[in-house]
Amino acid sequence: MPFSLGFVAGVTPTKWARIWNERRPDVPLDLVRVDAAEQADVLRDGRVDMCLARLPIDRQDLSVIALYREVPVVVAAKDHELAALDEAEPVPVEDLAGEHLLQDPEAVPEWRAVAVEVQDGSRRTLPPMRDLDDAMEQVAAGVGILILPHSLARLHSRKDVVSRPVAGVADTEIALAWPTANTTDDVETFIGIVRGRTAASSRSETVVVRGEPEKKVKKTAKAKEAAKAAREAAGKKSHGGTQKPAPGRTRNAPRGSGKRRGR
């Protein structure tokens, strides 16, 4: 029976999929592209066993392990003044206050808080856009800007748009999620893969289930031998200064056991 892994746009599961296929050739891995709006639903209804999701996600009955963060970027037309800025220099979100955002302002609350068109009520209705590709078309035409996770901007990049990092907007986070009740051996195996465990590692070395803290790693045989050697060395050192018993006498010999001196 195959094991299914969902992933949202912008996430590249290729490396983890390759490792899975090397370790579990008996269990085919199905990769399923899912929409971010459905990332919790596909787990609950069983369409996928696990999902590489973009937070936030409804965590009810789900276990979630955060993996990495994504830097937000602003996307604008190639002839926009942002194109003249250094690609590595973040643009303060306050500098975008006069722009028209081609998204729901609720999706970028940091921009909404400073946006002129929101404050003075001049914000106009968004043009019809079916998906992010349509939104990018509007950006290229100079209609407005987008503020996106870097991976999404890269995925939908075009020659007629530019992107620059944004300061003052929270990073987004990619996480691994699965139904808590379905923490199977296959799920544990995939957790180990994304955590970087080797095939020879025991599951006790890194156990993260239902969002609990990692359990302590059990000592290996090598570590136990090192600890034993350290204890023995410490014991020898502590006895090194002990006074030796006098010649002819046995330590702790009972009194009166020796010969009496002549009177």
Token pair 């942002």: residue: 82
CA gyration radius for the chain? 32
- Here the CATH number for the domain that contains residue 53 is 3.40.190.10
The structural domain count of the chain equals 2
Quick check: is 240 in a domain? no
Answer with the residue of higher pLDDT: 152 or 217. 152
176/144 same-domain check: no
| pLDDT for res 199 | 76
Amino acid letter at 114? V
163/41 same-domain check: no
141/105 same-domain check: yes
89/113 same-domain check: yes
Q: Which domain holds residue 66?
A: 3-70+172-205
Quick check: is 242 in a domain? no
Token pair 């990049």: residue: 157
pLDDT tens-digit readout, 84-121: 999 989 999 999 999 999 999 999 999 999 999 999 99
Residue 1's pLDDT band (boundaries 50, 70, 90)?
confident
126/188 same-domain check: no
64/78 same-domain check: no
137/17 same-domain check: no
Burial class (CB in 10 A: 0-12, 13-18, 19+), 235: exposed
Say how many C-beta atoms besides its own lie within 10 A of residue 215's C-beta: 13
76/141 same-domain check: yes
124/180 same-domain check: no
Quick check: is 222 in a domain? no
Token pair 């250094």: residue: 86
Answer with the residue of higher pLDDT: 261 or 187. 187
User: 3-class DSSP state for residue 83?
Assistant: helix
- Structure token pair of residue 51: 């999902």
Quick check: is 158 in a domain? yes
Residue 209's pLDDT band (boundaries 50, 70, 90)?
very low
149/66 same-domain check: no
180/161 same-domain check: no
For the stretch 67-106, what's the b/e string if a residue is b when 16 or more beta carbons lie within 10 angstroms of its beta carbon? eeebebbbbbbeebebeebeeeebbebebbeebbbbbeee
pLDDT tens-digit readout, 189-208: 999 999 998 877 644 443 44
Is 99 in contact with 75 (CB distance < 8 Å)?
Answer: no
Quick check: is 244 in a domain? no
Quick check: is 227 in a domain? no
| pLDDT for res 198 | 81
DSSP state of 248: T
User: Residue 51: which of 214, 22, 63, 24 has the closest Cα?
Assistant: 63
